Chain A
């Protein structure tokens, strides 16, 4: 064996990777194929390798109450992402130019808000919402998701701002430009890829949430993940529709997360390690 071959993929290794990939993804593929089958076909074993896919699960799901939940999810995830970016980006910039102490403490606070079990926040939030009448509203959800995405924005945007050369800013400042102008017209355009990645991660966190939505919503503001579960519990075992619901909930996630896979690790670990 030459020294080089340990790093290049041989045919054996490729085959092994392909087999492992198929085995690992088979539960996911099982859900996907089931969403295109009629209920009779789902119960048929051995499963036919070739069948005529049907969209009836999707269409009947969409004409029911599910579409409203899907829109609720879309609204709460989008608005909370927007607000989190609005507050978080200037804060991240200020912190990246911060020379004093307190950064460590803030980093720790951010880590804890990400790591703490959601129930620690749901009990106070639930009681507070019940008191001021925000239970089962989109506003309530947007508020929760914004506050949990804010630490993520602050954490993820700092390294991007650090890559902007300070000499650029200083030159503009000496020329008499205000710091707000420098921030908006010079710094921000240089970190747009970072903003895009951060925005997608925020959207995914809000979209994927189940626990907050389960407790803070009932019917009006019910999100898509909760709707899928309700469907499972109350409307009988219509497996095709359940599979279609699951597929619809995961569709945006798959598309977006593959786009930002480079940043997934640092987002997931809240930056405590360099991904």
Chain B
């Protein structure tokens, strides 16, 4: 056996030892819970009814119930509204902010850091911040509205405004994410492009639509996809600001699944809903991977 072979063999054994614990943990945290969830979703499992966890007599019962559950259907619609408007505003405003801050200057470089604050705050603190803003007694917004003789409804307990209130808070929290992504993309545009266009007499608007936008379009799509997947997880804001209410106006699917499992003890049914959500997320993640690979192939 040559020295290189020996080294190779040693490296292989080292790799095995280095990877084994992590693979075991990944299997235990990702694969086992997913399998368990799938099994639970095939039973009418309720915590108060211990025998029900292994009752596979009617495995598809939960999935058959889903289409006829108005609260589930409503939660999908609420989720769609929250995701659509939230992602739309985050991408648009994030892009505008990135365009505004895309300059070379020390002052701006420092300012960029502060724009990231909402995104890095603990989600629960974001909830507390907006709770303070939305509570009439202590909110500057209500004070200003009072000065202007405008009567503002209590945003988070109004059927018409509760979801909007959540969308505003969510947009505030995640705007920095799209901002950061778009800014990174803007910085890769070769300066000669816009300089040449300026020489040819192109206006700023023309440059934006013909040079900048095509360049950052892929990153806009990717950020939108990331925010879309993340928006399915919306929880702390809803938990703190509206509790899914009033009624179920702000009850997204994730929140409904939470209530079912941990308030109503309907573990089996909640698992079925979670499996549906998980499948949506897997499909969207595959989409992102696919887009990412295409982009790498291009560059």
Contacts and interface: CB of A to CB of B under 8 A. Distances in A.
Contact of B18 (A7, A94, A173): A94
Contact of B254 (A88, A117, A207): A117
Contact of B117 (A28, A123, A214): A28
B87 interface: no
B277 A27 contact: no
B29 interface: yes
A147 B25 contact: yes
Nearest to B236: A210
A147 B28 contact: yes
Interface residues on B, range: 35 or more
B54 interface: no
Contacts of B17: 90
A120 interface: yes
A147 B29 contact: yes
Contact of A243 (B30, B108, B132, B235): B132
Interface stretch (B61-69, B70-78, B136-144, B154-162): B136-144
A218 interface: no
Nearest to B232: A117
Contact of A119 (B219, B261, B286): B261
14 contacts: A30-B140, A90-B18, A109-B30, A118-B235, A121-B33, A123-B33, A180-B14, A225-B122, A232-B131, A239-B138, A257-B120, A264-B180, A272-B292, A273-B219
B236 A31 contact: no
Interface residues on A, range: 35 or more
Nearest to B32: A124
Interface string B72-104: 000000000000000000000000010011111
Given A8-B104, A94-B14, A119-B254, A249 B262 contact: no
A69 to B, nearest CB: 12
B58 interface: no
A210 B104 contact: no
Nearest to B280: A117
A208 B100 contact: no
Contacts of A242: 128, 132
A108 B111 CA distance: 35
Contacts of A246: 124-125, 128-129
A91 B20 CA distance: 8
Nearest to A42: B138
A179 B11 contact: yes
B37 A124 contact: yes
